[in-house]
Amino acid sequence: MPGIGIITNPHSRRNRRYPERMRRLGYMLGQHDTYELTNRIEDVEEVARKFKESGIEILALNGGDGTNHVTLTNFIKVYGDEPLPKVALLRGGTMNTVSNAVGISGAPPKLLANLVEKYYTGQPFETTRRDILKVEDETGERYGFIFGNGIVSNFLEEYYATGNPSPTTAGVLLSKALATMPVGGELPKRLFRPFHASIEFDESMWEERDYASVLASTVDQIGLGFRPFIRCQERDHTFHLLGVTGGPVDIALALPRIRLGLPVDERKIRSEVSSRAIFRSSEPINYTIDGDMHVAQSGEVTLSTGPSVELIIK
């Protein structure tokens, strides 16, 4: 039996806070399973080659969205055209938006205990299959589930700058932005810096103009329970892309509908389901993939669908 391969990011904020939990996870594994700590990004590719060679059947990731994004990018590079193992997200980070979106809940020890028990007793897993976003710029290819620039990347810059990233911090920051918006506060001005670009799809194009944000995802949530990507599973091998053209007040008024996963006015937030999108701008493009920040200095970013992955829900 090939077993389970677990990767822990010891630098995730939650794992740093509870180091004893990392040790307990290793004790829970079976004799055919493998537990790896990845202290550097370079370690992940080495572990991917080891796991591929041993033929693991389940890849368990003990970190948050950023850890998952980096790990999957390296595993896709190593596995190439071969299918990835089933993936279990253990929610070991501060930001766990993807696992929230697909219905994974619980703490890492509980999730891993369920995983090990079901695997070694032959019980079926409840799973969901999702396409992964492939994001390309002049520096290479990256893979994840949620892409965003403009408001989204600006918000994350402010969020990380607090030095205390947590759901509470994010909620306070959002509340502060909404409260100071009517009086022209500095925070809303920083968040709503416009992004100027054209966006080309396979059979259509959005004209060059200012956007408050452009977002794309293969899961419905973007964080704090907001669900803007209601068409993310409309067709296989596609993603839901949103172009925010409305101003701060328009977006604030749309938040209740976004929270409930309801359609919004397309005159303010444009919507497209596609398998490919090319962003072109005369300026560098700041963007995020699953909470990790990146910059395309060339002013061009291409989104497409990468391989699909089977996620274990429970």
Domain count, the chain: 2
Residues 173 and 286 in one domain: yes
pLDDT in tens, 188-218: 778 788 889 999 998 899 999 999 999 999 9
Whether 45 shows a pLDDT value over 80: the answer reads: yes
Give me the phi and psi of 124, to 5 degrees please. -75, 145
Q: What is the pTM of this model?
A: 0.87
Residue 83 lies in a domain: yes
For residue 34, count other CB atoms closer than 10 A to its CB: 18
Give the up-direction half-sphere exposure of residue 161: CA atoms within 13 A in the CB hemisphere.
9
Closest CA to 272 of 201, 197, 195, 194: 201
Whether 31 shows a pLDDT value over 60: the answer reads: no
Residue 45 lies in a domain: yes
Residues 156 and 297 in one domain: yes
At residue 151, the pLDDT reads 86
**Domain end among 63, 92, 125:** 125
**Cα 55–239–297 angle (5° rounding)?**
90
Residue 174 lies in a domain: yes
**Domain end among 96, 125, 154:** 125
At residue 160, the pLDDT reads 79
Residues 152 and 24 in one domain: no
Distance from chain centroid for Cα 20: 27
Residues 100 and 223 in one domain: no
Cα separation of 243 and 215, whole Å?
Answer: 7
Residue 313 lies in a domain: no
Residue 314 lies in a domain: no
Cα separation of 211 and 103, whole Å?
Answer: 31
Tokens of residue 251, six digits: 């977006």
Residue 235 lies in a domain: yes
Q: Burial, 83: exposed, middle or buried (Cβ in 10 Å; 0-12, 13-18, 19+)?
A: exposed
Residue 282 domain boundaries: 144-308
What CATH code is carried by the domain that includes residue 301?
Answer: 2.60.200.40
What CATH code is carried by the domain that includes residue 103?
Answer: 3.40.50.10330
Residue 139 lies in a domain: no
Residues 15 and 69 in one domain: yes
Residues 279 and 155 in one domain: yes
Residues 50 and 156 in one domain: no
Residues 115 and 258 in one domain: no
Residues 291 and 181 in one domain: yes
Residue 130 lies in a domain: no
Residues 154 and 196 in one domain: yes
**Cα 64–254–174 angle (5° rounding)?**
45
Residues 24 and 108 in one domain: yes
At residue 73, the pLDDT reads 95
Which of 74-88, 150-164, 278-292 has the lowest average pLDDT?
150-164
Residues 275 and 215 in one domain: yes
Cα separation of 101 and 232, whole Å?
Answer: 11
Q: How many residues does the chain have?
A: 314
Tracing tokens 């999957």 back to the chain, one arrives at: 72
249 vs 25 pLDDT, higher one? 249
pLDDT in tens, 252-277: 888 899 988 999 988 899 999 999 99
% of the chain residues with pLDDT over 70:
89
